[in-house]
Amino acid sequence: MGVTENNTVSQSLRITSERIIPEDECRMSQKRDFRKYLTYTTFCAGWNNGTAVCNGDSGGGLVLQRNNSAIWDIHGVVS
């Protein structure tokens, strides 16, 4: 659920594909005050193409597909 690319509210669950961002790139992309929250237990994911998680997604699972199989593993929580 949430707002779609057409600025309308979706009535069904949506999905996006995001890349895992290298730690140094992630750290440099954040405001200085936020960098202290980036630890060995956190990671960044996203693209610069307009896709993203947004308000309402927090608390949902961030899942990764295992080697193009039908198996998906939870690797984090969206925040």
User: With bands split at pLDDT 50, 70 and 90, how would you rate the model's confidence at 1?
Assistant: low
Place of tokens 């896709």: 51
pLDDT of residue 70: 94
Has residue 73 got a pLDDT over 90? yes
Per the structure, how many domains does the chain have? 1
- Give the mean pLDDT of 42-63: 78
User: With bands split at pLDDT 50, 70 and 90, how would you rate the model's confidence at 53?
Assistant: confident
Domain encompassing residue 24: 2-77
String of DSSP letters for the chain = -EE-TTSSEESS------PEEPHHHHHHHS-GGGGGG--TT--EE--SSS----TT-TTSEEEEESTTSS-EEEEEE--
Has residue 20 got a pLDDT over 90? no
- For residue 65, give the CATH number of its domain: 2.40.10.10
